[in-house]
Amino acid sequence: MNKTFSLLFYVKKAKTVANGTAPIYLRITIDGKITELAAKRYILPEKWNSEAQKVTGTSEEIKSLNAYLKTLEQQVYEAQHQMLKDKAVITPENLKHKLHGSEERQRTLIPIFEDHNKKVEALLNDEFAPGTLERYKTSLKHTVDFLLWKYNVSDIDIKKIDHAFVTEYEFYLRSVCKCNNNTAVKYIKNFGKIIRICIANGWLDKNPFVNYKAKVKEVERAYLVQEEIQAIADKEFATERLNQVKDIFLFSCFTGLAYIDVKKLTKNNITIGIDGEKWIYTNRQKTDTRSNIPLLPMAEEIIAKYKEHPQCLNEGKLLPVLSNQKMNSYLKEIADLCEINKELTFHIARHTFATTITLTNGVPIESVSKMLGHKNLRTTQHYAKILDKKVSDDMRILRNKFEIQTTGLSYGFGRDCKK
């Protein structure tokens, strides 16, 4: 519903023609936004009564002109009333199109979504990662399927997307698509970006996501403990390919780099840091944030091992990384052979670096966050929450402190603690 609506007739003196007359215009103002409508009538400026918004005089010609202006004003109000009945978005431009019989073309959801995805694809490996494009493609497919399921249509006017649409879409993802909470929230979030594009372009005047709340549930992140890392490191496999996958997985365990970031590493990413030791300097593809990581001995040994590998020499890469699908397939086999009862994926290596390799060994969370390339410390804190061993170690130190300082006071608090 519009808060303000006003009409004003005036003479545009700047457009005075040779015979001294100037055109009459109607200014339409809605919620502070303005458009102008030519009345297609000319008068001498001195005959215009700006306060009464009409031409001064009593001749039949002037009476006819004033009646015409009144009719034009009434047409505007009727057009506004009709748009209110149709629950259309009323802007000065939309109202002007309505009056001219050339109403703004209908904008539908799917072409806008497809255009967004084309732009993401055009910026692939520059602004966006391949996984981001795949998520938006899947989100588009779910949106198309939802329209058929709920409304039996292949597309919809974006002005018909409201709060009920969003909640029904979420229900569809959870019930029909069997998405878990976090997956459903992710697809709704992707859909929300398309809605924000519509709002930013002025195609929607209200946000259907107002009063909608969906929360991502925290999930336990799998990682390997020290004994499991050692079991993989000590195991020699029968095939060269398994040993290669093992080494690259361990490299990620000791650097915290995600699959795509390991795959794109070259010799140029290795440089001497401020401490005189070798560091990896790279930008995370997912977030485009800087990730500077001192090379631990295990990671350095793995780099040296594959220095002369044909794939590394031909492609100019630091390590001979297979496709993510193949890596994960071989890692499942490695887990079985090492008797590790966890679903081993490449991303578990990153979690292992954050937990077993760094946080458990007393590396401050701020340093871990910087090496992981996290934009927010809260992201890193998810790893810290699952470290019962770290909690146990910290509490053991506190327990020992209490035992040393105990002086027989109530509850065993020592003098230092009392202060």
pLDDT score of 411: 42
The two three-digit tokens of residue 67, written as one number: 């009646």
Give 224's contacts (C-beta < 8 A, 6+ positions apart). Answer: 232, 253, 340, 342, 348, 352, 356
d(CA 142, CA 172): 9
Kindly report, residue by residue over 321-372, the tens digit of the pLDDT: 999 899 999 999 999 999 999 889 998 998 899 888 888 888 888 888 888 8
On the question of pLDDT at 384 being above 70, the answer is no
On the question of pLDDT at 49 being above 80, the answer is yes
d(CA 242, CA 15): 81
Mean pLDDT over each residue of the chain, to the nearest integer:
86
Instruction: Give just the sign of the alpha carbon dihedral 55, 60, 61, 64.
Output: positive
Kindly report, residue by residue over 207-263, the tens digit of the pLDDT: 999 988 888 776 667 889 899 999 999 999 999 999 999 999 999 999 989 898 899
d(CA 32, CA 6): 10
d(CA 273, CA 271): 6
Q: 406 pLDDT band (50/70/90 cuts)?
A: low
Is the separation of the CB atoms in 157 and 107 below 8 Å?
yes
Higher pLDDT, 196 or 32: 196
Which stretch of 166-180, 279-293, 300-314 has the lowest confidence by average pLDDT? 279-293
d(CA 260, CA 194): 27
Q: 96 pLDDT band (50/70/90 cuts)?
A: confident
Place of tokens 């969370």: 365
Which stretch of 11-15, 130-134, 266-270, 309-313 has the lowest confidence by average pLDDT? 130-134
Is the separation of the CB atoms in 318 and 229 below 8 Å?
no
Kindly report, residue by residue over 125-181, the tens digit of the pLDDT: 777 878 888 999 999 999 999 999 999 988 898 988 999 999 999 999 999 999 999
**Chain center to CA of 163:** 20
